[in-house]
Structure formats: C-alpha cells, structure tokens
Structure 1
Amino acid sequence: MDSKLLIKMEFCKRLSKCLDLLGYNQEMIDFRREKNTQLDDIHNITYPIPVITSGGKAEGTALYFESDIDRLFILKGMTCVNPSLSCSSHTVFHIDRLNCSPGYARLKIVQANSSLEQNQLKLENGYVMNDFSIGNPNTTDPMFDVNGTIITKQDRIGPAERYGNDFINYDFVVGMVCICPDLIEKWIQRERKYDWPDHNLVHQISSLEGHIVAVSDKGSMYPLTEWRICYTKAEIMLVYSFTESQAKLYMLLKLMAKSVLKPLCPAMSSYIMKNIVFWEIETNPSQHFSHASLIDRLIDTIIFLKKALESDYLESYMISERNLFQGRITDMERTILLEKVDELLKERENMFKHCTKIHRAMLKLKESPGEYSQEADKRDHIEKLVLNKNVIIKQTETADNSKEPPIQDRLKQNEKFIHYEKELHRLVVPDESELLKSDHNLEEVYRHRLFDILS
C-alpha cells in the first residue's frame, strides 16, 4: 500500500478515535437520544401542549452544555392544510403559498375556536400574523437548569422564545401541524442515484406530518404574515439513519463550522452543515463513507459549501426550492468565508489547528492515550448522571403546581436525585475540602467546572 495512503488512513483512525473520546461515540449518541426522547414522553403525558426536542439534543450529537436545547411545541387541534384537502381539526387554516418564498406560506382561518382567535391570533388582511406567541408552555413551575440555577426569559430570536442563564439556553418554538402533500411528494419522488435514504426510510418519512412556525423569510413580500414550513421529525429520522462514519463526518463539519466559520458569519449554523451532509450522503455511494476516509469526505463537504457560497444558493434538503442562504450572508461575509474555506482546503489535515477542541484532543491522544481515555470515560459518566438528573426533574414537574411545594423541595425528597447529585459532586469537585478551606464558593466552582466538562 502507498505510504501516503497509509499515513492518511492512520490520521483518519486517530481523528475518529478523538471524536469518540470527545463524547461523540455511538454509545453516548444513543444515550442522549434515549434520554431526550424520555423527556419528551414525560412532558407529553403531563402537559397539554406536546413537544418535540430537535437539533443536536434530539440527534445525540451535542454534549449537554454544548448547544442550545431546541424544543418545538405543537398546538393541539390546529391544522394547516392545502385548500383542496378536508380537515376535521377544531381549528383549520388554509395554506396560501402564492408569492411566498419557497417553503413558506400564509395562513387563512377557515374554521376557528373563537377563544383562540380572540385571545391569541391577530390578522392582517385576513391572514394570520406571525408574531404569534403563547409564552412559556413548558411548566407552571419556575424554570431551573440541572444545577438548580434559575432560568429567565431572554430576547426572542426568529420564531424562538428564548429562556436561559449563563450556562444554558432553551429555544422554544411554537408550531402547528402542516399537511402539504405536494411538498413531501416532491421529496419522495426526487431522483436518487444511490441507496440513501433507503426505500423503507423514505416510506416512513412519507407518513410524517410537517409543521409550520411563525417566521418569515428574509426579504419576504409578507414579513408580517409569512410562516415557515419545516419537517423536523423527518430530519431527526434522517440523522438517526447515519452510519457511524457518516455521523462522525457530520460532527466534524459542525465542530469546524462552529470554531472557524460561524465567528465570521452567524449564518454558518449547524443546520446549514446538516443540510450539506444530507446532500453529500444522498449523492454519493455508501462505500465512500468510512472511518478511513473521514478527511476526504470532510474536504468534499467543504468543497460543497464553497460552491454554495459562490452561487449564494444552498438548497434545503427537504424543500429543495428553498434557498437556505436567502438574505442571510452579506457580500463582505461571503468574501471572508470563501477566503477561509480556501485556506482550509489547502491545509487539509492541518485545518484542525483552527479547531481548539479537536486540536487539543489529537495532542492528548498522542501524548497520553491511557490518561485521556480515563478522562473521557469520566466525562461520559458525568454526562449520563446529568441526563438522568434531568429525567427526574421532568418527572417531578407538574402541570398544576398550585397545591405542591416548590419543585426544589420536592427534588430533595427524591433518593435517586440526591444520589446523582452526590455522585456528580464527588466527580466534579473531588478537592471539595481544599476549596472550602480556601474560601471558594463551592457551588459556583462546581457549576463552572461542570459547564467546562460538558461543553
């Protein structure tokens, strides 16, 4: 075998191992998915407004403090449909896509619950306005993070009502079921040369509903009344179908974008990278994706991004007529991004010097592999404890807490919760006695250390 090929394969092997040790191994991905599904299930039994966790948390591809917690709340009994379709929901909206941006629509009420219409919906020229909001649908208890630190309302971003503190943010988006058969049919019937997504996955996705959320496209003719159509459930299923090497490609691209590209342009989000990876997997044979070819496939995705930047056009994977770059990147940002992308392509394996997280991991793996493996095992154990704590917090919440003691008092009576807390403190602040002697605020040290460990 050619020596250069051997060197590249060995590099890719170490890169894959680094991702495992950074918390992106399949076991942790599966554990995060399981716990976030459990959180949704508990919520949907307890509260009247169902929720779908989305983004990196639902995918299992983000450590606990590494990204926002994205939750889509679905209003019951409210359905948006094409005018040609009949619908038995209590409240029905007809979708009007005329002159709207691709993947967007305006909504007309054709059958309404009068109290909803009077109290929450505003109309402009007969169309529902997209300043729609119902406040925090999550709980009537005050909101706390996993450490008991209070969570407060932040500024709204797009369709998301944001709640958070110095350690974590929750993005709550309210949406409605959207039945738009022609859009999903275009996705189903799209010609594909290779075997992803396979027939069974396409069939499963074909039966899923879409959703519509309250935000217009950039530069829309109808900034006050346009809503965005999305297929959140479908995208989660697509990520779940990734092979281990495809998942690692996705995480590499996300990490590089977060470190290198997003500081140059806020539009370089993980959602953009996810769509690029979707296209990359669909348009290449499955045998192209392996741990031994990670760097080649990463280069391919960066080339894909470069072409999209040059054309100022990135097709949405689920709704290909929608341009994900529409109105989101300035000419100056595009110039700077293209310069940086060219730099990354020239550097190839050396590009990771720009991503501190990966660069440090590669050095640790080289210098002290045994010690680093123990450190990684400890971090994974800590994250599992945090996620288990979160499940107990969710189980302890009540939809009507008027006759209940505060949630923090209820948690103090839960033996499992107390056990998880003690174990976390033992692992995160093993030097507790020294910290107390030095007059440190123990809880503050614990919170900041835990954040650093799981970021």
Structure 2
Amino acid sequence: MSIYITLTYLFGTELILNLRRQLVLLRERLKSYGNDNLHYICSGSLGEGVAYPPSDDDLMVYRTGRRVVSKPQEGTQDGDVVMARINGSPGYCLLLDIRNCYPQNVQCDSDGIPFVSSSLWKEHINPPREDCYIHGPCHTFAVGDDEYDVASVIPCSFWPDIACDWISRKRSHGWPSHDTIQDIVRDKCHVVPIGDPDSPLQQHAWRISFSVAERTLMHSLNHVQFLTYNLLRLTLKRIIDKKFPGIICSYFMKTTLFYTIEKTSAQLWTAHNLEACFKVCLSTLYDFIDNINCPNYFIPEYNMIKRKVNRTNRQELLDTIRNIHSTDTESILSICGEPSNMYLEERLSLQIMEWRFDREIYDSVHVVKLTSVIYDVITETTVSSMCKFVHFLLGKGTFSRYVVSGILLQRLVVCCCLKLMDTFVRLAKCK
C-alpha cells in the first residue's frame, strides 16, 4: 500500500485525476466555442489527464464540412474525400479527392487518380502562428517554456474496416466495457497528415488516428491503472530513454498498458497489487521487444516498432527491461530521482493550474462578457465565477506564496467547472 500512496502523491489523487479529466473536456469546449467552423480536440498525455512528467500540449483541429468517407457514392458534401487502403501499410491510407475540393494539395498517381497529399497539406494549411515549424503531422511552436503541437486533421464519417476486428474480438475479462466500445465506435476516428516511412507513398499518405478513442480508454481507467501508466512513462523518461533515446515512446507504453489490462483480471488492478501490475506491464513490453512486434491496439497488423527495434539493439533493450523488472518499485523511483516519502499537497494543487488554459479561458471570458446574447441567458454570478476561475488559473505565482487548504481548493475548482459547464449547456440550448 505504501507504494500506492507514494505514487498517488507523485501523480495525483483520484479526485485530482477526475478534475483533470473534467478540465480537459472543458478546455476543449472553450477552445471550440464561438467558432462554428473550427473544432479542437485535446489529445496526447495532457488530454488524457497525465500531468507529470511534463509533456507537450497536443491539439487536433478540424474544419466543419471536411470529412473522410468510405465510398465515392457517400461523398455528397463539398469537403468529402474517400479513404483508400495502401497495400503493405496497415494503419495508413490515401485520400482520394473525388470532388476536386483541395486542388492545391492534390497529386495524381500513374493512373491519373487525384489524392490529397499529406506533405502538401501541411505546407499549405494555415499554421496557428508565424513561428511554427512542421514536426511529424503537426505544426509545433513554443510559448514561453511550453511547447504546442497542433495537427490539422480530417474526421472520418465511419469506423474503418481495418479496425473492425477490434470491436468484436474476444475479451475474457470485460475490458473495455461494451458501453465504452460503443462510445468509441460512435466517435469514430481521424486521419492525420503523415505517411508510412517504409512506403514509397510516405509523402502523400495519411495515418489513421484513434486519439479520441485512446482518450476515452484512458478516462475509463481506474486509479491503479492510471498510476501504473504514469510509472511506466516515468521509467521510460528517466531510465530507458537515457540508454536508448528515441527508441521507445510513451505511445508504446500506453499500448502496452491497454493490452495488459485487456488480458488480465480486474482483480489484479488494486492498490495492494500496484507493483505487480507494473511488473506485468513490463513483461508485456518485454514480449513486444523480444518479438520485435508492438501491435497497434486497434490495428494489430500495424507493427509500431519494426523500424525502432532491430537485432542490434534488441538484446540490450531486453536486458534493461529485465533489470527494471527485477528491481523493486521504490528503488526505481529513487533511480528516477523521485523521493519515496513526499508531502506534495501544494504541488498536487499546482498541477491543476499547470494546464495550459490561460489564453483559452481568458479569451473565452471576454467573449462571454462582450456578447449581449450570452448576457441574456447567464447571471452575473456565473460571469463572476468564470472570472474568479480565470484568476485562479492565472495566479500560479500568487498561489504558491499562500497555503490554501486542499479541500477548499478542490471545492473551488469543482464549483467553477460545474458553473462553466452549466453555462455552456445553456448556451447550446439557446442556439
């Protein structure tokens, strides 16, 4: 139980985790509010509720009217493109521009079939800032010490055939639940502008992204599963990456966690078994590296480490993971530079405010205060609460100089979140 308490102090209590998840969804609505054409999705670690170790801020954005359809006859809207699979590249696709919607991004194959090039898409899309540079599928830029990755994506109007087996495959331990699976299929997926590096079509292909599905799965985890994932990430950042930089990434750790939870009993995932849960996940990762095959959780045919792990580095990686597996968790935390006895209530409280809400919420409050229609449907009390919430989030430096009870802090955040969410529900009804 002591390791559970230690990791809870380090990565957040269950209440704080739930608040983070609420804030993720709130932030998404705030960013999308007031712009009927642009829709934002908070993805990556921050979107999933992970706030430690620090990570980049990943956002996906798409425009209304753009969508990927499965068949040409379904392309009835001006922004529709048709998905075409690529032989030998599971998890990637081509987008056929059957309606000539994107002429500046189109290239034709040897048969004259026009497809939207992912590389041209990134070059011609309007970047979120002038100082952006292209990094993978994203435009990346920095604001102070924070780095943002923004990907311009296209939503799919269907669940892709190549991932249909994921819906119906046998799950002897009931995870994810039927309702979670239905929610994921309902939300579908997106395509992001980056191709398979092993394909001659790399510059033109798109990757099928299940970021929203992964966020739904992460939000469905119990607290022990969440702590286990954070411990896997910490081990990666502090130990594995130092020996093998760029070989294993957090996404592989998340995939490892998903497969492990799916194949183990729910009775394993309790506070008393946290160290055992971590070791079982390491065993799963060990098997992936041993076989040089880390199958994508939704598309198992897609081996995500085939270009990362090879016969040269495989054995050293296996030795490192075996050593971590044989080390007790408290010693791992010590190796990672994390103390085993921490009193971090103030730090945990500050984690809530470390989310990059500052500009989004501040701008949204001004939108609320300056729009007369909104003034007609909300009260001065709600506006006041929103302003207090903004000052609360912006007052990182001020807050750190005062000692505020954790209970009062939690009540303040919950109160403000609920008021803000209630406001947006009423605004949606007014529209």
Tell me, what secondary structure is at the counterpart of 1:207? Answer: helix
The corresponding residue for 1:159 is 137
Superposed, which structure 2 residues align to 1:45-194 within 5 Å?
A: 45-47=33-35, 48-63=37-52, 66-83=54-71, 86-113=74-101, 117-119=102-104, 121-125=105-109, 126-131=114-119, 132-133=121-122, 135=125, 153-165=131-143, 167-178=145-156, 179-194=158-173
Distance in 2, matches of 1:298 and 1:274, equals 12
The corresponding residue for 1:287 is 267
Tell me, what secondary structure is at the counterpart of 1:50? Answer: strand
After superposition, give the CA deviation of every residue in 1:290-316 in whole Å (9 maximum; x if it has no partner). 111111111111111111111110111
The equivalent position to 2:198 in structure 1, one of 219, 230, 233, is 219
Is the counterpart of residue 260 in structure 1 residue 239 in structure 2? yes
Shift of 1:87: 3.6
Tell me, what secondary structure is at the counterpart of 1:95? Answer: strand
Distance in 2, matches of 1:378 and 1:193, equals 42
The corresponding residue for 1:401 is none
Shift of 1:166: 5.2
Shift of 1:181: 3.9
Distance in 2, matches of 1:315 and 1:88, equals 35
Distance in 1, matches of 2:9 and 2:68, equals 45
The corresponding residue for 1:22 is 10
Maintained 8 Å contact 2:127/2:139: no
Tell me, what secondary structure is at the counterpart of 2:83? Answer: strand
Is the counterpart of residue 381 in structure 1 residue 349 in structure 2? yes
Maintained 8 Å contact 1:81/1:180: no
Shift of 1:85: 5.9
Distance in 1, matches of 2:106 and 2:54, equals 37
After superposition, give the CA deviation of every residue in 1:116-169 in whole Å (9 maximum; x if it has no partner). x234x131422221111255665xxx7xxxxxxxxx735422101111145211
Distance in 2, matches of 1:28 and 1:110, equals 48
Distance in 2, matches of 1:168 and 1:269, equals 20
User: How many residues end up aligned between the 2 structures?
Assistant: 374
Shift of 1:355: 1.4
Aligned CA distance change for structure 1 residues 97 and 423 (closer, same or farther; 3 Å): closer
Is the counterpart of residue 351 in structure 1 residue 332 in structure 2? yes
The corresponding residue for 1:403 is none
Shift of 1:380: 2.8
Q: Percent identity?
A: 22
The corresponding residue for 2:304 is 324
Can you give the 5+ residue segments of structure 2 that lack an aligned partner in the other structure?
368-385, 403-431
The corresponding residue for 2:396 is 424
Distance in 2, matches of 1:122 and 1:240, equals 38
Distance in 2, matches of 1:397 and 1:122, equals 40
The corresponding residue for 2:212 is 233
Maintained 8 Å contact 1:49/1:75: yes
The corresponding residue for 1:392 is 361
Shift of 1:324: 1.2
The corresponding residue for 1:402 is none
For 2:176, give the aligned amino acid. P
Segment drifting more, 199-208 vs 417-426: 417-426
Distance in 2, matches of 1:415 and 1:84, equals 49
After superposition, give the CA deviation of every residue in 1:23-58 in whole Å (9 maximum; x if it has no partner). 422222122222221121122122322010011111
* TM-score normalised per structure 1: 0.75
For 1:392, give the aligned amino acid. I
Distance in 2, matches of 1:279 and 1:313, equals 13
Tell me, what secondary structure is at the counterpart of 1:276? Answer: helix
Superposed, which structure 2 residues align to 1:432-451 within 5 Å?
A: none
Distance in 1, matches of 2:139 and 2:288, equals 30
Distance in 2, matches of 1:22 and 1:62, equals 10
Tell me, what secondary structure is at the counterpart of 1:322? Answer: coil
Maintained 8 Å contact 1:33/1:59: yes
For 2:206, give the aligned amino acid. W
For 1:207, give the aligned amino acid. R
The corresponding residue for 2:423 is none
For 1:171, give the aligned amino acid. D
Shift of 1:184: 3.7
Tell me, what secondary structure is at the counterpart of 1:186? Answer: helix
